[in-house]
Every structure is written in structure tokens, then in C-alpha cells.
Structure 1
């Protein structure tokens, strides 16, 4: 479907931009390996995605100022409770500017 849709685009600059965006975001599709990153926890410890190699990791990027993010939190908690006895790691990553948020 991706190649069919792109064949309909005649503007080469638009096509190049769409291709670039597709390549950058296709790594985020379900089942693909995530890019390795390291972040600090609330207590200042480093946590890297490589710490959980071989495990299923649920990544939730959120912010206190993001209404939809906050509305989704109860559902994420239910999901975490559902998988509590399975080998699934839940990482909630705040993109707020400061730790207080």
C-alpha cells in the first residue's frame, strides 16, 4: 500500500519529504526494535533500554501538560495490572521540562 500511494504523487519534493518521514517513523512500528536510549529516573539513576534486552517493553511517553496523555493513564495502569505476572516491563517516560511536573 505504501508504494501504491507514493506512485500517485507527482511532486518530487513532496515525495522526498514523505519518504524521509516514512523511513524515520517506520522504525517505530509494532514489532520493530526500538532505538537504544538512556534516561535518568526520578532518583537520578540511569536506565537504558538495553537493561531490558530480551524482554517485552511497553514504552509510554507522556507529559503533565498533555491532556490525552493524562486521560490515557488509567488505561495504561489497567494494562500494567493485566500483565503483572508476565515478563513485561512498563516504562513511563515524562517529557516534561522539569522533575516537579
Structure 2
């Protein structure tokens, strides 16, 4: 099962190339950004052995979530849709996995890419999916 999850994750992450930026620690708003000095690589990619590229999305509570927020943990990124019944069951398995190994060791991130109509999900869609799936993992 984990082998298939890893294969799915690697294939999903191979969709687009990206590079890390080594700009200043200030964003356009002038606010200070969390120190990411542990990032010791200049490039990222989707190939086995490469460092993953960071991304930032809003979760079901409207808060920003970055991949690099979970540095040091085993990270499973689950790409799901609201119209996919199997995806809801997989999310429940993710909840069990996190419970089994602990939140300090494993993080399961569900990225909801479509609502039930095939459109980009809204915040309401995200919350509805969390309620429907009855999960505790970030969506």
C-alpha cells in the first residue's frame, strides 16, 4: 500500500518544474517570514533523490499551509477531488496513519483539486469535504 502511495505521490509531483528563490527574508508586505535556514539546497525537483519544491495553499480553515512547514516529518501529499468516493476513504486511511505513527512523525496533506462540479474548490467546499470525510488531517 505504501509503495503505491509513494508512486502516486512521485507521479503527481512530477507535473511541473520549479526552483527555490534565495531572496531576502521579507515579503512584499514588509512582514518577516519564518527562518528557513535549514534549506541547504539551491534547486528542487520532482525526481527521486531531489529535494521537493515548496508550495503554499490555504487549508479548510483559511490558513496558509506550506510543504516546508512539515520539514523533518514523513509527508504524504494526497491529491483528491470532491466527486471521488475512493478519495474520501483514502483520507480516512490517512487519518489512521497519522494516529498510528503520531503527528510529530507523519503529516498527511490532502490537496483538494476539484469540487463536485469539476471546478476549483472554494473554502466552503474544503470545509464540506472535511465534514463529509470526517478527518482531522489538513485539507
Where on the TM-score scale, by shorter chain, does this alignment land: which range?
A: 0.5 to 0.7
Runs of 4+ in structure 1 deviating by more than 4 angstroms, as ranges, are none
Give structure 2 stretches of 5+ with no counterpart: 1-10, 16-44, 115-120, 126-139
User: For residues 81 and 45 of structure 1, do their structure 2 counterparts lie closer, same or farther at Cα, with a shift above 3 Å needed?
Assistant: same
How many residue pairs get aligned? The number is 78
Give structure 1 stretches of 5+ with no counterpart: 1-20
Aligned to 2:19: none
TM-score, L = length of structure 2: 0.45
Higher helix proportion: 1
User: For residues 71 and 52 of structure 1, do their structure 2 counterparts lie closer, same or farther at Cα, with a shift above 3 Å needed?
Assistant: closer
* In structure 2, distance between residues paired with 1:28 and 1:67: 30
User: For residues 66 and 87 of structure 1, do their structure 2 counterparts lie closer, same or farther at Cα, with a shift above 3 Å needed?
Assistant: same
How far is 1:55 from its partner?
A: 2.2
TM-score, L = length of structure 1: 0.58
